[in-house]
Structure formats: structure tokens, C-alpha cells
Structure 1
Amino acid sequence: MLRTLALAAAFAAAAVTGAQAQTVGLGTTKGGATAQISTALASVISGGSDLMVRPQALANTSQYLPLVDSGRLDFGIANYPQTSYAINGTGMSEGQPNPNIQMVATLVPFNAGLLVPSSLGITDIAGLAGKRVPRFPAGSLGDTVISAVLATAGLTYDDVESVPTANFPAMFQGVKDGTTDVTIAAIGSKPTFDIEAALGGVTFLNLKEGDGEVLDAALPGTKLRYWKGRKAAPGANDDTVVFYYPYTLFANKDVSDEVVTKVLTALYEGEAALKANGPLWAEFTPEGMAEVGSLPYHPAAIAYYESKGIWAGE
């Protein structure tokens, strides 16, 4: 009888351990702000639920979006413009829709701009004329962002010296090594601190009134904001004007309601833990997770937000 009870207890413990160790994959990139966001998500969700979140890092977002669409990855994170393009098969995903991707949460506003060494002596986008600018593969996120920002000053790649660049880590390294004069960067991200330390001073180039419309045409959901009154960060001061768009968490439509609910509960209740991960999370709020755009939401996410009284969708 004792042996039977011991075996039963062992099997029960194994079953509980198995349930606690349910692993879900989270698509992310290597390095940069996206990697920082995925690390924080994995830590807070794993610590606040019985899920084990494992970030799966690839070179760029376009590589893991199809993996989420096919169900080979459960979740992914990306900026709103790229998520919108991927779901609808437009822009950077022209002719390649990913209809099985559904929104789960809006995480934080992604505050970004073009960052240069302060020694370059320029403060606006027009000052990039004749400078060495990263040139990403056509149609990539980096290419779309840089082309759009240059256009705010009436510039194109013909007005700068293009430097072929494979991905964001290579872009960060290029400006540190002095092979380029500018990089895309998220305010408060780890790369900005690294670049500042390497160069001895950095400056975010200012945008101007009306530039938001130019950017929104290329990057849906993009707006401008002054950094005035916000937490100090490398390259940004009260006079800095940058752009921002929401950063999103999405899932394959077949991820179970139970798993989505566990993820959202951990995030909704984990505000302090998320903000402890650094300035990228400074503007996170549980209510902001339900920020509604034009993209489809996972049914479990809608149900969760309705239960909290924060769902504003149809």
C-alpha cells in the first residue's frame, strides 16, 4: 500500500511539474530594444504564471513573423507598423499576409529617432546630407524607417553616402566603429548607453511639425512627441522631438485561451516588475495593454480586457 501511495504521489508530482513547465516560444531579435523587451516579458510572465517563456532570437522581425503565423512560435513582439503590414500583407510584407496572427497586447510606446555622435555637430535630419548613412536591404524595417525619416527633410539615399548594413546589431556597431554617422535607436535602450560610452556624447536629431504625417504614411500609427519633462536619456533633452509608435505583443490564433489569459494576467499584475527592467518600460500601464487599433485581437485577449472593464473595441 505504501509503495502504491508513493508511486501515485510521484506521478502526481510529475504531472504538476509538467503543467508548471509548459513552455511557450516568443519571437524576438538579437540585441537592441526588441531583445530588451522580450527579456523583460519572459521574466515577468514566467515569474507570474506557470508558463515558461523562452525568447527565440532571430536576425530580424520579418524572420519570425511567419513562424508565429504558422504556429511554430506561439508569440512574437514587434512595432505596430510592422505588425500591421505583416497581418495585412502590405508595405514591408507586400503580397505576403499573415492572417493567423492576432493582437494580444499593446506594451509601450516605442520612442525612437536617428542618433548621431554629438561631435558631428548637427541637430536635425537635414544635417545628414552628405553623411554616411546605413543602407539596409530594400523593404526591410531599417530601410523603411531611414527612408521615411530622410524624406521628412526632403532627402533620399541619393543625398547621403550609403553604407550597406545587414541588421540592427551591425548598425549599432557601425556607428560605434565610426564607419557610419548615424543609427536608428530607441530612447533609453541599452544600445544608446553603449554608443554614448563609445563616442563620448550622442544627439537625437530633431523632427519638426508636419513630419508626423510623412512618417505615418510609411509607418502606420507613427506620431511625434517632445521629450520635455521625461526621464533623461542618452541623446535626448527637453528640446528633442522624436517619433513613436506602439510596440505590440501578438500570438498565433490557435494559442489556447488559457495560455493567453495567463500571459495577460502576469503582465496586468506585473507593472512594477516590468518597470524595474529599465526606462523602456517607463510608460507601461495595465490599462494601456488594451489600446485598440485596427488589427484583430485574440478572443481571449478581448474577454480578459472586458473582464477588467478596459476594452474599448467593437
Structure 2
Amino acid sequence: MLKRLMMAVALTGMLCGVAAAQTVGLATTKGGATNQIANALAKTISENSDLMVRPQIMANTAQYLPLVDTGRVEFGIANFPQTSNAISGTGMSEGQPHPNLRMVGTLIPFNAGLMVTNESGMATMADMKGKRLPRFPEGSLGDIIMKAALETAGLTYDDVTSVPIANFPAMFQGIKDGTTDVSIATAGSQSALDIDASTGGARFLDFKDGDEKILEKSLPGVSLKKGTDLPESAGITDDTVIMSYDYTLFANVDVADETVAKVAKALYEGKEGLMASGPIWSEFDPARLANNISLEFHPGAIEFYKSVGIWNGN
């Protein structure tokens, strides 16, 4: 009888612990670097706080930005150009501002570019002329990156063969299957590793000095980064020159300050777990979580960053 009572008490305690865990959603896409980042965030935050983070997978960032803006999902992730455009209602979010998004943290430098197979013989953006390029829906992130990259070489879609692509996973599969010659990829991501492994070797096309002025017109916050300043990754050599911009975590403005502070704290203290999740996190620095104060931060995040001395805003 005593044994049964003790078991009942233990079970009740376990159930209470489960009930006490607050579940929050983290909007992400299916596959690619964004999904990879979301899974690492969910695991790290859940293990380092009393929150249970569940990735909410959707077709693309444009689909979930309004859901976070309206509070239907608590958190979301996107690169800095997307987040900046979304808040202001410009660029990729032209005429559709999302005023209720607030920054929670600057996560990692997102080092991205256009990947091709070694067999293609392509090396620069100009080499895309006449090649088969994935063509995303007008105004989407993939479309904007492709157009900007083409523009750096004085090219447009008229100079290449367009292959309609629905999303990033389909793009990754296209270059692996040989139906396209180019793919957007993120250095250190699993998708870049897969392309490299399945095609017998791959590389990134190189940007040239001055290209950032063209890229910045549609991708705010972008800079160019040389291979010597990049983490070791498939497709990267010392001579590689690709884009770099920050990746961000944001929340709806009405998410409780305490909840956001718990997320910020879990990330600040979770460097070991994040870096262990893959090479894409190799440049993660907790002290940079409070970067990009040009965008408005959530009060809960500000409160925590002030407490650990890394907040440089007002």
C-alpha cells in the first residue's frame, strides 16, 4: 500500500512538472538552414528553461510573418533583411508592414551565396549566363537573392534559362538531380553538405569587390565575406567571396516579458548546445545577441541583456 502511495505521489509530481511547462511556438520553414536553426533553438531553449518550444513548420517565411505579427505564433526566425523588411513593410514585404514584431536576439552571421557543382566549371556570377537557374515566385526571398546576384554580373532572367521552383527544398533537390545548375545555399548548413556530397563536390560562386552596393538595395544589412574569414564548410576555399548577414529571432510584442527573458537567458547560456548542433553555429557569440538595435527589441529581451551587461541601446 505504501509503495503504491509513493508511486502515485511521484507520478503526480511528474504530471505537475509537465503541466507547469509553458509551450510556445517557433515559426520556421521545412528543410534548409532555417529549419536547422529552428530545431537547434527549440532544443536549446527547452533544455535550458521551463519552456517547451515547438517548431511550427510552414511553407515559407512570408506565410508565418503575419502569424507572429498577430500573435497566433509566439516566435519566429528570419534573416535580417527579411525581418527588417517585414517590420517596415518594404522590400520583400512591400505594402505589408508587421508592426508587432520585436527582436529577441541576433543569432549568427548567415553566410550565404550561390552554389554550383565543381563539374559545372562555373566560378563567378558572370558564369551564370545561359545556365539553368531556379526561379522562385515574384518577390520571395529566393527571387530577390537570384535577381540581386544576377545584377552584380549585369545579367537578368532574360540571360538565363528559368526553372520554376516552389521552395528551397525543391531547389536543393534540383541541383542534386541535375535539373538546375545553381542553388542558393548557406555555408555550414546541412543542405550545402548534402549538395557537395551528392554531386561529387561543389563550390560557391564568387562575388567581387563593390557588389555589396548592388546587394544592399534589396538585402539590407548585407556585406561580403572572404573564405579566410569563414568557418570551414563544404564549398568554401580561402578565395571564396559570399554574402553575410545576421539571422534573427523575433517575437510578437504581446508575448510576456518573462517568457522572452527566459528565451534570451537560455540562448545566452546555451552556447555549448547550439554549437554542438552543427557547423552553422560555429560563429555564435552570446555577446552578439543584443546586436542590431536598429530594430526594436522586445522589453523582456532588453531586461535580460541589461542584467548581463551586453545591452548597448537606450
TM-score, L = length of structure 1: 0.95
> C-alpha separation between the residues in 1 aligned to 2:55 and 2:268?
20
1:124 corresponds in structure 2 to 124
**Counterpart residue type for residue 173 of structure 1:** Q
1:17 corresponds in structure 2 to 18
Assess, with a 3 A threshold, how the Cα gap between structure 1 residues 265 and 129 changes in structure 2: closer, same or farther.
Answer: same
1:104 corresponds in structure 2 to 104
Q: Is 1:31 aligned to 2:67, yes or no?
A: no
The Cα of 1:308 is off from its aligned counterpart by 1.1
The Cα of 1:59 is off from its aligned counterpart by 1.1
The Cα of 1:198 is off from its aligned counterpart by 1.3
The answer to whether the 8 A contact 1:202-1:234 is kept is yes
Let me know the Cα RMSD of the aligned residues: 1.9
> C-alpha separation between the residues in 2 aligned to 1:309 and 1:42?
25
The Cα of 1:11 is off from its aligned counterpart by 6.8
The answer to whether the 8 A contact 2:224-2:243 is kept is yes
In the alignment, structure 1 segments of 5+ residues that lack a partner are: none
Secondary structure, in 3 states, of the residue corresponding to 1:251? strand
> C-alpha separation between the residues in 1 aligned to 2:226 and 2:13?
56
> C-alpha separation between the residues in 2 aligned to 1:92 and 1:313?
27
Secondary structure, in 3 states, of the residue corresponding to 2:289? helix
The Cα of 1:7 is off from its aligned counterpart by 9.5
The Cα of 1:9 is off from its aligned counterpart by 9.0
1:312 corresponds in structure 2 to 312
> C-alpha separation between the residues in 2 aligned to 1:22 and 1:60?
26
The answer to whether the 8 A contact 1:292-1:312 is kept is no
> C-alpha separation between the residues in 2 aligned to 1:227 and 1:255?
39
The 5-angstrom pairing of residues 239-250 of structure 1 reads 239-250=239-250
The Cα of 1:274 is off from its aligned counterpart by 0.5
**Counterpart residue type for residue 17 of structure 1:** V
Assess, with a 3 A threshold, how the Cα gap between structure 1 residues 18 and 241 changes in structure 2: closer, same or farther.
Answer: same
The answer to whether the 8 A contact 1:124-1:206 is kept is yes
2:170 corresponds in structure 1 to 170
Assess, with a 3 A threshold, how the Cα gap between structure 1 residues 164 and 303 changes in structure 2: closer, same or farther.
Answer: same
Secondary structure, in 3 states, of the residue corresponding to 2:217? helix
The 5-angstrom pairing of residues 37-76 of structure 1 reads 37-76=37-76
- The alignment of Structure 1 onto Structure 2 pairs a total of residues equal to 312
2:219 corresponds in structure 1 to 219
The answer to whether the 8 A contact 2:110-2:247 is kept is yes
The Cα of 1:94 is off from its aligned counterpart by 0.9
> C-alpha separation between the residues in 1 aligned to 2:26 and 2:70?
14
Q: Is 1:269 aligned to 2:269, yes or no?
A: yes
Deviation by residue 1:229-252 (Cα, 9 ceiling, x = unmatched): 543211111000000110000000
In the alignment, structure 2 segments of 5+ residues that lack a partner are: none
**Counterpart residue type for residue 123 of structure 2:** T
The 5-angstrom pairing of residues 83-98 of structure 1 reads 83-98=83-98
> C-alpha separation between the residues in 1 aligned to 2:68 and 2:298?
13
> C-alpha separation between the residues in 1 aligned to 2:293 and 2:163?
35
Secondary structure, in 3 states, of the residue corresponding to 2:122? coil
Deviation by residue 1:5-58 (Cα, 9 ceiling, x = unmatched): x99998776444311x21000000000000100000000000001111000111
The answer to whether the 8 A contact 1:201-1:235 is kept is yes
The Cα of 1:293 is off from its aligned counterpart by 3.6
The answer to whether the 8 A contact 1:292-1:313 is kept is no
2:205 corresponds in structure 1 to 205
The answer to whether the 8 A contact 2:231-2:283 is kept is no
The answer to whether the 8 A contact 2:102-2:297 is kept is yes
Secondary structure, in 3 states, of the residue corresponding to 1:208? coil
**Equivalent pairs: percent with the same residue?**
60
Assess, with a 3 A threshold, how the Cα gap between structure 1 residues 16 and 131 changes in structure 2: closer, same or farther.
Answer: same
Secondary structure, in 3 states, of the residue corresponding to 2:24? strand
The answer to whether the 8 A contact 1:290-1:311 is kept is yes
